[in-house]
A = this chain, B = another copy of it.
Amino acid sequence: MIRKYIFGSPVQTGAVIENIPVSKEHPDFGNIVTMTPFCWKYTMQHDTRIFGLGESVRGMNKRGYLYESWCSDVPRQDEGTKSMYGAHNFFIVKESSLHETFGVFFDTGSRVSFDFGYSDYSEISVSCQDTGVVLYVITADANRGKESTLNNITRQFRKIIGMSYVPPMWGFGYQQSRWGYKTEDDVREIVNKHKQYGLPLEAVCLDIDYMEDYKDFSVDKKKFPDLKAFSQELKNDGVRLVPIIDAGVKLLDGYEVYDEGKENNYFCKKEDGKADYVAGVWPGRSCFPDFLRSDVRAWFGSKYKNLTDLGIEGFWNDMNEPAMFYSDESLAAAFEKLETFKGKNLDINTFFDFSAVSGSTFNRLDDYQRFYNRAETLEGEQKPHRHDTVHNLFGGKMTQAASEGLKSLMPEKRCLLYSRASCIGSHRYGGIWTGDNNARWNHMEQEIKMLPGLNMCGYLYSGADIGGFAEQTTEDLMLRWMSLGIFTPLMRNHAAWDAREKELYRFSKEATDSFRSILKLRYALLPYIYSEYVKAAVNSEMFIRPLCFDFENDRRALEIQDQLFVGEGIMIAPVCRQNENGRMVYFPEPMIQVTWKDGKTKCKNIKAGDSYIEMPLDSVVFFVRKGKIVPLFEPVMNTSQMKNNKYDLVGKGKSYELYEDDGFTSDIHLEGRIRILR
């Protein structure tokens, strides 16, 4: 059951696509304690749990901390990080008895603060910066059968926000990336080395290095003299290029994209409604397309043609929170402030002020209050909104621009598309990667905890930078993280320019052999992962789920935060501590342990309950659920070589339903189903 309530005058976010009648009465759960700002409170029981909130740090159960939906460029993430790149305002309050479990979605583009028992351990408090918010409250269907309240409420929510983006089959292949692949030759070497070492490879991502002076939709001819020919050269080996596109457009007269944007007033404006707003990003001073306008989206989307004409079929959109390194205003203020420190004895009262100044211009709230977006009200009226009141929609609307543009440029193809910033709604247009993480074991563990929330909010196509984007990774962390990464739809090894080189052939011979084996498993599992992904998208289900979503009456399962179900048949329990060669795993039901090593499987029955499972660094261990089978196909070097005819089956189930990808349509062809029988 879904109830919808409207408070104030919200903007049209586009998150919900189903028409739901508006309830006039007071919501059945919690209290609205103030209207300006809008604040909703709910009293928790001793054992109340909270699941959801998409891209956010800490546990699967979010109780006990503060979170904030405010799309942010957060190069340093840790447990204290309140805001990530996405704004995913949906969560489920799970009660165990007497009280009813329910889901809530705060549909707004403005900042939302979630106090999940931080200030008062027994109270949830949600405040929206803007008074305009549409609130959806969802309770489980009485006739849901054996489905848990958690799965049922999630399914209802996912239905009203529309089907999740489905990438082409090749989007499930292994992507290699690094900020720092500067030239055609750099990329060619990466591809050749993968071939040389027998490492499967699907795509190479191009970070900002490929552009000319960091101009969107440009290619630096000195580095990539003929990208079209080069793209074709790689495609002959089944390898694709995936270039980056940034949100900011370099302010430069004579640069086509800038000129068009300026001429047509496509850029975000200052308060006067006339001057384009200017802020610094990679190319220096830049302007920002007002992605909240459909005409601007259509224009920006059409610019991808510059690259699709060269044979490109996949993109990642970045810096679209939008990140702003500085504005003209904040930079001037910084220089002015710096002057005041000259010649002083800098003590505790002044030194820390000084030391913060030159780094103080990043992503400032006051900068976000200096420009405007034209957004639509629920009644369809388009008018300027100060950016901070619609901030969280910006990145998601850029994804929509790209998706719609690509669809119109290549109606016969599904394109690969993922973004850094996002909001609920943009899950229909693309996936997300989880941003600039670090080469830390606890960041790998964080990914495990974050994926379920993302799935709840529609982001099925997701994954973290394997091995960590920033900082220095280690051979063992790469091995463990790859063993997790093969189960995430988006599987990408990406790194910062100053991080350790971590292409899979950069480590010891033993490690390279293990990486090869791990990647082979990814390709062996790919038809399963693809099929389960499509089923989850079509049926509004979660591809990746916490144990308790399927076992909500199992007290132990309710607390497991480092194991996951992947599709209908697989459970994983990654090792995420350095120097541990195994771990305790909780089995809510009997399963088959599958140990994959050197391309071969060993199977073993495991009883329900707790078991210590050996997980050597050179093996991948996963579990097949009771009554399920998982097909393992003959591994290939990339999806271009895939044939769906040779496979082994692991597990004891009777049949498995496979989806075949025709690769040529933007809709899911249900007729692509194939039943595999044991």
A residues whose Cβ falls under 8 Å from a Cβ of B: 49, 58-59, 61, 63-66, 78-80, 117-118, 120-122, 208, 214, 280, 282-285, 325-326, 331, 335, 338, 342, 345-348, 351, 354-359, 361-362, 438-442, 471-472, 474-477, 507-508, 510-511, 556, 559, 561, 577-582, 584, 610, 612
Among B80, B342, B476, B561, the residue within 8 A (CB) of A335 is: B342
B472–A118 contact, CB under 8 A?
Answer: yes
CB distance from A474 to the nearest CB of B (A): 5
26 A-B pairs with C-beta separation under 8 A: A59-B579, A64-B474, A64-B578, A65-B578, A66-B472, A78-B438, A79-B441, A80-B440, A80-B471, A118-B474, A121-B476, A280-B351, A282-B348, A284-B347, A284-B351, A326-B346, A331-B346, A335-B338, A354-B358, A355-B361, A359-B359, A559-B580, A559-B581, A561-B577, A561-B580, A584-B584
Complex CA–CA separation, A579 to B508 (angstroms): 39
List chain B residues, Cβ under 8 A from A214.
347-348
A122–B280 contact, CB under 8 A?
Answer: no
List chain B residues, Cβ under 8 A from A578.
58-59, 61, 63-65
CB distance from A563 to the nearest CB of B (A): 12
Complex CA–CA separation, A472 to B67 (angstroms): 12
- Say what secondary structure dominates the interface of chain A: loop
- With CB as the reference atom, state the residue of chain B lying closest to A213: B347
A346–B325 contact, CB under 8 A?
Answer: yes
Q: A335-B342, A338-B338, A442-B442 are in contact. Are A63 and B579 (CB under 8 A)?
A: yes
Complex CA–CA separation, A282 to B49 (angstroms): 44
Among B58, B282, B440, B581, the residue within 8 A (CB) of A78 is: B440
B80–A121 contact, CB under 8 A?
Answer: no
List chain B residues, Cβ under 8 A from A208.
348
A282–B65 contact, CB under 8 A?
Answer: no
- With CB as the reference atom, state the residue of chain B lying closest to A446: B442
Complex CA–CA separation, A441 to B581 (angstroms): 23
Complex CA–CA separation, A472 to B284 (angstroms): 35
Complex CA–CA separation, A284 to B354 (angstroms): 13
CB distance from A138 to the nearest CB of B (A): 22
Complex CA–CA separation, A481 to B549 (angstroms): 30
CB distance from A9 to the nearest CB of B (A): 33
List chain B residues, Cβ under 8 A from A285.
345
- With CB as the reference atom, state the residue of chain B lying closest to A585: B584
Complex CA–CA separation, A612 to B280 (angstroms): 54
A358–B356 contact, CB under 8 A?
Answer: yes
List chain B residues, Cβ under 8 A from A282.
347-348
List chain B residues, Cβ under 8 A from A582.
559
List chain B residues, Cβ under 8 A from A64.
474-477, 578-579
- With CB as the reference atom, state the residue of chain B lying closest to A476: B64
List chain B residues, Cβ under 8 A from A359.
355-356, 358-359
List chain B residues, Cβ under 8 A from A476.
64, 121
Complex CA–CA separation, A301 to B357 (angstroms): 38
List chain B residues, Cβ under 8 A from A351.
280, 284, 325-326
Among B59, B121, B361, the residue within 8 A (CB) of A508 is: B121
- With CB as the reference atom, state the residue of chain B lying closest to A47: B581
CB distance from A287 to the nearest CB of B (A): 14
- With CB as the reference atom, state the residue of chain B lying closest to A348: B282
CB distance from A249 to the nearest CB of B (A): 14
List chain B residues, Cβ under 8 A from A579.
49, 59, 61, 63-64, 559, 561
Complex CA–CA separation, A477 to B64 (angstroms): 9
A347–B49 contact, CB under 8 A?
Answer: no
Complex CA–CA separation, A580 to B280 (angstroms): 44
List chain B residues, Cβ under 8 A from A474.
64-65, 118
Q: A346-B284, A347-B282 are in contact. Are A442 and B358 (CB under 8 A)?
A: no
List chain B residues, Cβ under 8 A from A507.
121
List chain B residues, Cβ under 8 A from A79.
438, 440-442
List chain B residues, Cβ under 8 A from A511.
121
Complex CA–CA separation, A18 to B201 (angstroms): 59
- With CB as the reference atom, state the residue of chain B lying closest to A335: B342
The 9 closest A-B pairs by CB, nearest first: A284-B347, A358-B358, A284-B345, A79-B440, A61-B579, A584-B584, A80-B471, A355-B359, A282-B348
List chain B residues, Cβ under 8 A from A66.
472
A355–B440 contact, CB under 8 A?
Answer: no
CB distance from A344 to the nearest CB of B (A): 8
Complex CA–CA separation, A477 to B65 (angstroms): 10
B80–A472 contact, CB under 8 A?
Answer: yes
List chain B residues, Cβ under 8 A from A58.
578
